[in-house]
Chains A and B, each alone.
Chain A
Amino acid sequence: MAKVSKKKVSRKSVRKSSTVTEKIAEVKPDVVYDDGDDEFLSKEDGNISSEEEEEEEEEDGGGKDERKRQKLLEAISALGGKRQKKLGERSEAAVLMSEFTVNAEGEGDKIDLSDLIGSMEKTSAVPAKTKKQLKNLQHSNKTIECPLSKQESERIQRDVAFRKASTEVTRWKDIIKQNQRAEQLVFPLDKEPTGPRPMERMVTGWKAQTPLEQEIFALLSANKQPINDPILTPAEEASMRAMSLEEAKIRRAELQKARALQSYYEAKTRRERKIKSKKYHKVQNKAKRKEFLKKFEEMVKTDPAAALEELSKIELARMQERMSLKHQNSGKWAKSKVIMAKYDEGARKAMQQQLEVNKELTQKLVTALNKEEEEEEEAVDEEVLPDFVNDAEQGLHCSNPWMRGKLSEDPAEKELSENMDLITEGPGAVGNPAEEEEEEEEVVETEEETLLREFDSRRKRRQAHEAVTAPVPEEEEPQVPDQEEEEEPQVPDQEEEEEPQVPDQEEEELSEFTSLFQGIADSSREAEMPEGAADTNPSAQLEEGLVRVRTLEDMELLSQPAPATEQLPSVAPQADTTRKRKRGIELKEVLTKETKVIKVPLAPTMEDTEDSEDKLDQRGLIKEAFAGDDVVADFLKDKRKQEDAAKPQVVDLTLPGWGEWGGTNLKPSRNKRRRFRIKTAPPPPRRDQCLPSIIMSEKRNSSISLHQVNSLPFPFQNHAQFESTIRAPLGRTWNTEQTVRKISKPKVVTQLGAIIEPMSREELLKDKKQVSAGSTSHVDSWKRKR
């Protein structure tokens, strides 16, 4: 670096000096000329008077003398410093004047810049700037360096050029480093993205050549079809633009939201419909009606056509009411109520409500809503039918987990709850005309309906159970008898009054449970083997309880595997509570007994036993054969031998007779022997020291060592590093497919038949962009990959 800086300095100085010389060169000639002029003028006076011919004649002889004289004069003038000036001033008319003798006055003196610049101030043409510069120059008293030799200046030029080139080239450093370090390089580097290229790019670099192509293009251009720039027709473009990924995503999100909102709304309405309070509904209806009226008024203003339609609807409802007189006293139910009204407060109220309804309906502009509700409910009922049937069927297959999908459950449950509503409210719901209607219909309907409902109730109960406990096939065991018992009383019940049904059912269920568990307990007590209890019980219970023929379900239950003891405890809590409330059954005895899984002797196990026998036989044979050998002792002996062999020997280097007397019967002294006996350091502990049944040989195996690396290879710093690279396996036996692919990625990938161009300058720009982008580098690299 020092060198470089030095050079720089020298270069600068050279530059400076060169500029200075230039400037002076500009000024110098005329100034010198001026000076010369002066002198010439002073000497011309004499010159003119003298005759030039004579001068020419005497040139040969006089010239030499003149020069000598001049030299002498110079020498004299050199002796005295200031006197010389005066000498110069003394200008006499001389006869002989040589042109060679012309000399400046004060020749030995330095030329002062002020002398030269003197005339400058007089001339106005010289700009002020240069004047200033020259004045500055005047103050500096530095001499000018002589210009550099050609070689020297060329060298400097080269140096500068080289430095420029090398800095230019150094820009590539980052890319080169990066490429050297890269795990994988794919050549050609600036590969075009694979796959179809956009048509525009294809077409611009292509010209119609064959006559066919030319013809086609002529046709296209004649028909004003797009050829080059917008290669797609507008329609195609629109279809291309139809839906991008983001748009699709947005749309999907919107749809999802809408669906969610809908489901919320559905849930809300369902909940509201489930509410049994009549008052609530009444209020609700009233509010709705009011709102409707309001809306209607608004509608009259804004949208008269729709309002008219609404009006006609209302009118229709009114006409119907007036025609049928449904809500007046003419109906069967109303007549009965009229009879009852004398004694019963409730009946009277119901009557009044009905009349109110009638009034509302017959009034103008009202009660379109009620009607709609009716219609709705009817529709719902119609829908319910097939669902019921389906569900009942599903119930049969409930052991199949796939058929117990939740899709059909929800609506079914909904219907069920409605039905329950009907059942409970049926007789009390005098005021609600719709329900009444239904009831009437029910009456008309045959037993099918009841049967269906019965199925449904059963299903519901089962579901309730499933909700409480895990869906276990055993769970249904208690229900079987319960259902059968229920069925008989239910049918008449429903016809007469359905109110007490639900509590009844519950009670019955409970009792069933308890009885069942009691039964289990009893049987377990009776059976000596408690493990078998769980297995045998249900069937026993069934046999006891069953009066009728077995149903399909029962058959299934029977076919189901007996064990799964883990599931019993889950049933326990429920059962527990019920028992505690009603009858004292000892829970522990029932549940804590573990069932033993009965092992069915299968074929393979049989084989196994045979095998083992065989083995035993062989063992016996071997034992017999080697009865006399004590293998263990032999082994231990062997091991000890090996250990001894591995122990370092003491080396005795004593030489008798050295430094002592030697001879027969003379032994080296003990001291000497001690000195020359060399004990080697004990070896590290054997690796099989703590492994009694193993001998580990620590000898070097020459056949293996042939394959072993015996010196640390070059790039590695220590053994551990090298070993770690060897230790990790690469193959797909030890690694997953992905890892193998990643590990065995080749360093250089080339494409078959692709010309690999040398690195281009664009690469450099890309790199710069990456650096400047910083955070967006990921994106860039991704783009580069593509």
Chain B
Amino acid sequence: MKVKLLSRNPDDYVRETKLDIQRVPRNYDPSLHPFEVSREYTRALNATKLERVFAKPFLASLDGHRDGVNCLAKHTTNLSTLLSGSCDGEVKVWNLTKRECVRTLQAHEGFVRGMVVRHCGTSFFTVGDDKTIKQWKIEAPAYGEEEEPLNTILGKTVFTGLDHHRKEGVFATCGQQVDVWDEQRSSPIRSFTWGVDSFSAVRFNPVETELLASCASDRSIVLYDMREPAPLKKVIMTMRSNTVCWNPMEAYYFTCSNEDYNLYTYDMRHLEKPITVHMDHVSAVLDLDYSPTGKEFVSASFDKTIRIFPKDGGHSREVYHTKRMQHVICIKWSADNKYILSGSDEMNIRLWKANAAEKLGVLAPRERQAANYSQKLKEKYQHHPQIKRIANHRHLPKIIYHQTREQRVMKEARRKKERNVRKHSRPGTVPVVSEKEKHVVTVVK
């Protein structure tokens, strides 16, 4: 009698190298794996909880300035270099990997108002309260050499902001007027004025590199084209905008941070009303920067918090704060989309993770897959109340928490009043004005 034996092909179960994972034969018959929704729900819930457990965004604090940090600049070609200028005219160059100051130079007397690194990454420009524009080398001077700028331009008025063209040797400053300079000349190649006396910020469009936007003190945002002799258009809002930032991936969108606690994203072709109003701050928003992917931006506020907004979301997805962080004056999103840098009043620069719960460093493939899967699960079940509750829970400082509540109450009261007024007046006399339209006064052509 012959005995039948089970015979298996070793190819089916022997792995090629011991680094491979064991092959697990699977049966995908749905009847064998019931309750998929509830099981995945549990997984999603756990993933959300774990995300909150691991959300530790604060990485480091860079101290060394002797006055409030007034401006930051990213290096264009080097991720680990950061420049910061303080209110006492000092500029520091930082090495982020070592978390230490590499170089310190006294750039100006009074504030360093603006700072920008040239596109090639070999030099940077600073403007200060002493009415000068200075160009510096990135490299520290050799031993025995004096620390002095490559170029100095003496202006007639104080400069309050500075930005560099992305590709050409052209930069723009703002102060009494918006000037466009050629690096080779000591007088501006263009000078834009439009009936206002001071500007607070100017930014080049990184995509359509000839376009500029600036915030003026008459509560307006003005658009320019470097090639045209006159400005393009301006929109006047109810309150003053502090800074403006273009989306680096979408040519015609820009966002401005406003004194009225909100941020507004505009389509530059339709300035009549903003595309999105981003609300959550409880004090004036001082600065913002887009993530290099153009999907999100981060804002720094006078209320001592940093918030991250999705570019088309009305509310922030994240809020960062620490006990010691005072009014955040300037903020930058690092060029690799991983970190956020904030400079604040109390002389410190802080390094944050852009994604609070993300694991830093290289992920193993399986680790990455697991992270992706849990991310998808969270997305899928984000509308479920428990998950939503956990995912949206943030601890806030007491003041901000109460102020937020107060804001909400005020807003509700205003809405209620408006509703009542509408109810008690002739139909049509009190029109419904959407939140977006409320904040724009006019568009001046």
Contact = CB atoms under 8 A, between A and B. Distances in A.
A272 B101 CA distance: 94
B338 interface: yes
Highest count of chain B CB atoms <10 Å: which of A727, A731, A751: A731
A19 B383 CA distance: 66
B337 interface: yes
A763 B359 CA distance: 32
A168 interface: yes
Highest count of chain B CB atoms <10 Å: which of A165, A732, A752, A759: A165
Given A750-B337, A755-B79, A758-B207, A744 B292 contact: no
Contacts of A164: 225, 228
Contacts of A735: 28
B37 A726 contact: yes
Interface in B362-379: 362, 369, 372-373, 375-377
Interface string B16-45: 000000000010101001001101110100
Interface string A692-707: 0000000000000011
Interface stretch (B57-65, B154-162, B246-254, B406-414): B246-254
Main secondary structure of the interface of B (DSSP, over half): loop
A497 B77 CA distance: 98
A165 B229 contact: no
A329 B441 CA distance: 132
Contacts of A756: 292-293, 335-337
Contact of B225 (A165, A729, A732): A165
A65 interface: no
Given A734-B28, A758-B292, A165 B232 contact: yes
A719 to B, nearest CB: 12
Nearest to B292: A756
Interface string A742-768: 011110101111111111110000000
Contact of B386 (A707, A713, A752): A707
A727 B77 CA distance: 46
B329 interface: no
Contacts of A168: 208
A71 interface: no
A759 B292 contact: no
Given A187-B292, A756-B337, A730 B373 contact: yes
Highest count of chain B CB atoms <10 Å: which of A161, A561, A708: A161
A170 B338 CA distance: 30
A758 B2 contact: no
A477 to B, nearest CB: 15
Contacts of A287: none
A27 B293 CA distance: 62
A754 B208 contact: no
Highest count of chain B CB atoms <10 Å: which of A159, A179, A756: A756
Interface string A47-88: 000000000000000000000000000000000000000000
B201 interface: no
Interface in A131-166: 154-155, 157-159, 161-162, 164-166
Contacts of A745: 372
A605 interface: no
Nearest to A473: B2
B252 A172 contact: yes
Contact of A730 (B2, B252, B376, B386): B376
A336 interface: no
A176 B37 contact: no
A187 B1 contact: no
A565 to B, nearest CB: 16
Nearest to B361: A752
Contacts of A154: 230
Given A162-B232, A753-B79, A713 B383 contact: yes
B293 A748 contact: yes
A731 B372 CA distance: 11
A744 B385 contact: no
B295 interface: yes
Interface in A526-569: 559-562
A740 interface: yes
A185 interface: yes
A713 B382 CA distance: 10
Nearest to B382: A713
B343 interface: no
A761 B208 CA distance: 8
Contacts of B79: 753, 755
Contact of A158 (B33, B76, B231, B373): B231
A12 interface: no
A180 to B, nearest CB: 8
Contacts of A740: 369, 373
B114 interface: no
Contacts of B77: 755
B385 A709 contact: yes
A272 B225 CA distance: 90
Interface string A415-447: 000000000000000000000000000000000
Given A158-B232, A729-B40, A744-B372, 4 more contacts: A164-B225, A169-B252, A560-B2, A735-B28
Smallest CB-CB A-B distances: 9 pairs: A758-B248, A758-B206, A756-B292, A729-B36, A713-B383, A162-B232, A172-B251, A161-B228, A166-B269
14 contacts: A161-B228, A162-B445, A165-B228, A169-B208, A169-B269, A172-B252, A707-B41, A730-B40, A734-B28, A744-B369, A744-B372, A744-B376, A756-B335, A758-B248
Interface of A: 154-155, 157-159, 161-162, 164-166, 168-170, 172, 176, 179, 185, 187, 559-562, 706-710, 713, 722, 725-727, 729-736, 740-741, 743-746, 748, 750-761
Interface of B: 1-2, 4, 26, 28, 30, 33, 36-37, 39-41, 43, 76-77, 79, 166, 206-208, 211, 223, 225, 228-233, 248-252, 268-269, 292-295, 335-338, 362, 369, 372-373, 375-377, 380-381, 383-386, 445
